[in-house]
A = this chain, B = another copy of it.
Amino acid sequence: MPARAGKPDAREKLLDAALVLLREKGYGATTVDDLCAAAGVTKGAFFHHFRSKEELGVAAVRHWSEVTGALFAQADYHRHEDPLDRVLAYLELRRTLVRGSAGAYSCVAGTTVQEIHATSPAIRAAADESILGGAAHIEADLAAALARHPVPGVDAHGLALYVQAAIQGAFVVGKARDDPSVVVASIEHVERYVRLLFGRSA
């Protein structure tokens, strides 16, 4: 993909490679050499763009936020007029995205934060931002839905975070079971929960 000749693309190639490798092997097991080989770049290029492996970790998680943010921003589930319909369409989209191996469908932020939450504050903070950003995709819609149909003890922020948590957990169990169908089934449970909360029948 030689978009523009002369433009720096080693950095982009490294970040894209990181998205795959981090999800497949985790942060610790992914070596700098692995990343360079996958990106078709040498170590010199790596440390030209990133001062350390940790700095790449932060950049990769932020890159992940951007990639997924763009994906959901341009998705057409926003077209629904009813905010609850938008939330349900979002969940349906997330469900249909689950295909193939865990390295293809799981989440960079969730995978990475499990390993480094106690050892790398910078990556942990980036992962936190990424997950909050993911929750933000539905938080406003949930707030609007709750305004129309209040549920005692439930607030939009907490519910949005729970949806993210349930999906993250589905990835974990999907990896353990080595079977994406349990991820799909779990997301269906999340959809059922949202419908039950708002008294919407299937």
Contacts and interface: CB of A to CB of B under 8 A. Distances in A.
Interface of A: 24-29, 101-103, 109-111, 113-119, 124, 127-128, 131, 153-154, 158-159, 161-162, 164-173, 175-178, 182, 185-186, 188-189, 192-193, 196-197, 202
Contacts of A196: 193, 196-197
Contacts of A173: 131, 161, 164-165, 168
A113 B176 contact: yes
Contacts of A197: 192, 196
13 contacts: A24-B118, A25-B118, A26-B114, A28-B29, A28-B115, A29-B119, A102-B118, A103-B118, A114-B115, A114-B172, A161-B185, A165-B166, A169-B170
Contacts of A176: 109-110, 113, 117, 124, 127-128, 131
Assembly stoichiometry (copies):
2
Contacts of A110: 114, 169, 172, 176
Given A29-B115, A115-B114, A172 B169 contact: yes
A110 B170 CA distance: 11
Nearest to A172: B168
Contacts of A185: 158, 161-162
